[in-house]
Amino acid sequence: MKKDGSIGYVIKGTMACGGKFRPSDWAERLAGSANICIEGGEGGPNKEVCVSVGCVDGVAALLVPKGLEEANPQALEFVLSFARSNNLRIEQMPEAKEQPKAKGPGM
């Protein structure tokens, strides 16, 4: 991913106890209910800052872009609060780590 679209957080669908979080489509539901897609992020006025759904280490994950904190701090807090209250694993992505890929159509 480009620097302006890099991932800031990965919220994995595994709980601190090791079990998988249910329902299995939680990431799609959270991304849809939060409707987090903001225009004008780090990439400029025409760049969208969106959370996306992916698969990381074989489990569903929510990929949160770095630009979300600046574009909409309340949306970032909503997503992180959901993850904390459900004991989901939250990983902050270091700059040098390879970025996970979002699911594309047909995946």
3-class DSSP state of 44:
coil
- pLDDT tens profile 61-75: 999 988 888 888 888
**Grouped pLDDT means (10 residues each) for the chain, 107 residues:** 64 90 90 65 55 89 88 88 94 66 52
Paired strand residues for 64: 9
Comparing CA positions, the residue from 102, 5, 10 lying closest to residue 53 is: 102
Would you state the pLDDT for residue 100? 61
Quick check: pTM over 0.85?
no
Strand boundaries in 16-106, DSSP class E: 37-39, 48-50, 52-56, 59-65, 88-92
CATH architecture of 3-92: 2-Layer Sandwich (3.30)
- pLDDT tens profile 18-30: 899 999 899 998 8
Q: How many CB atoms lie within 10 A of CB 15?
A: 14
25 DSSP 8-state letter? T
For the chain, the domains span 3-92
